């Protein structure tokens, strides 16, 4: 696999800044759900790293479940809104406080779809926490309750976010110069 240093554009958020912000979000969520039971729903796979850190900053009682969605008919840098459920929740969410944890909201299509789908299951509440928000790319309105960082309109990777399934392990978030990136054959 190509070394990310060959195509990195710039580090957008370093490890310390990520941890500081995730700790703040954990504290805020803990305050907002004080006295309530909470189900964290990690959206696979981009949400794994963020969820793992975020839940360790929660000071309230909570459980964890995962869901995997994919949009199809897309390239690197767009979402078609044709969202497929690859793996559904194991938990029956009726009457539960549900917080979706996602890596990035871009067009908003993925989240809009999953919110619509989960709301029909009648949870007590349904909110969204995203690590990164590409505000200016929104095509459908979605209400995001907690945001880690706003990021510019660039392809980003690291801290759970991939390029062709690689580089998720990086402890920082960077933008890529896709002209320099070579996909493995």
Tell me the catalytic residues.
106
Token representation of residue 83: 């969202």
Tokens 């990690």 -> residue: 42
Partner interacting with residue 53 (select from Mg ion, ligand IMP, none; CB below 5-8 Å by kind):
none
Q: Closest CB to ligand IMP among 46 and 123?
A: 46
Residues 60-119 that bind ligand IMP (CB under 6 A): 71, 79, 102-110
Q: How far is the CB of 155 from ligand IMP (least distance, A)?
A: 4
Cα 128–131–132 angle (5° rounding)? 105
Report the C-alpha gap between 14 and 171 in whole angstroms: 7
Q: Closest CB to Mg ion among 46 and 148?
A: 46
Q: How far is the CB of 125 from ligand IMP (least distance, A)?
A: 22
Burial tier of 67 (Cβ tally within 10 Å: 0-12, 13-18, 19+): buried
Interface with ligand IMP by CB under 6 A: which residues?
46, 71, 79, 102-110, 155-157, 161
């Amino acid at each position: 696999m190509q070394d990310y240093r060959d195509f990195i554009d710039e580090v957008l958020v370093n490890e310390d800044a990520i941890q500081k912000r995730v700790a703040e979000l954990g504290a805020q969520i803990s305050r907002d759900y004080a006295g309530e039971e909470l189900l964290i729903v990690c959206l696979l796979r981009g949400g794994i790293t963020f969820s793992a850190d975020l839940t360790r900053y929660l000071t309230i009682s909570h459980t964890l479940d995962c869901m995997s969605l994919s949009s199809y008919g897309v390239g690197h840098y767009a979402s078609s809104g044709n969202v497929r459920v690859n793996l559904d929740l194991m938990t029956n969410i009726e009457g539960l406080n549900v917080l979706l944890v996602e890596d990035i909201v871009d067009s908003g299509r993925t989240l809009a779809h999953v919110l619509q789908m989960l709301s029909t299951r009648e949870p007590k509440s349904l909110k969204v926490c995203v690590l990164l928000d590409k505000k200016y790319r929104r095509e459908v309105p979605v209400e995001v309750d907690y945001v880690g960082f706003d990021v510019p309109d660039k392809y980003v990777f690291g801290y759970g976010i991939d390029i062709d399934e690689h580089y998720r392990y990086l402890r920082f978030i960077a933008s890529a110069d896709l002209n320099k990136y070579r996909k493995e054959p």
